[in-house]
Amino acid sequence: MAEIYYEDDADLSVIQSKKVAVIGYGSQGHAHALNLRDSGVDVVVGLREGSSSRAKAEEQGLTVKSVADAVKEADVIMILLPDQVQGAVYQAEIEPNLKSDAALFFAHGFNIRFGYIKPGAGHDVCMVAPKGPGHVVRRTFVAGQGVPDVIAVEQDASGNAWELTKAYAKGIGGTRAGVIKTTFTEETETDLFGEQDVLCGGVSKLIEYGFETLVEAGYQPEIAYFEVCHELKLIVDLINEGGLSKMRWSISDTAEYGDYVSGPRVITPDVKTHMKEVLSDIQDGSFAKRFMDDQAAGAPEFKKLRAEHESHQIEKVGGELRKMFTWNTNKDTDYVEGHASR
The binding site comprises: 25-28, 48, 51, 53, 134, 191, 195, 227, 231, 252
Query: Of the listed 30, 108, 274, 312, which one is catalytic?
Result: 108
What residues pair up with 181 in beta bridges, in sequence order?
151
Rounded CA-CA distance 243/235 in Å is 10
CA-to-CA dists, residue 291 to 68, 288, 298, angstroms:
27, 5, 11
Question: 10 Å Cβ neighbour count for 61?
Answer: 8
What are the backbone angles phi and psi of residue 201, rounded to the nearest 5°?
-60, -50
Q: Is 309 assigned a catalytic role?
A: no
Which residues carry a binding-site annotation for substrate? 252
What's the rounded Cα separation, in Å, for the pair 17 and 172?
Answer: 15
- Chain Cα centroid distance, residue 49: 25
Binding residues for Mg(2+): 191, 195, 227, 231
Alpha helices in 43-109 (DSSP H): 53-59, 67-72, 83-89
8 Å CB contact between 172 and 205: no
Q: Is 40 left (phi over 0), alpha (psi -120 to 50) or beta?
A: left
Exposed (0-12), middle (13-18) or buried (19+): which is 178, by Cβ within 10 Å? middle
Burial 223-240 (b: 16+ CB within 10 A, else e): ebbeebbeeeeeeeebee
Residues noted as catalytic: 108
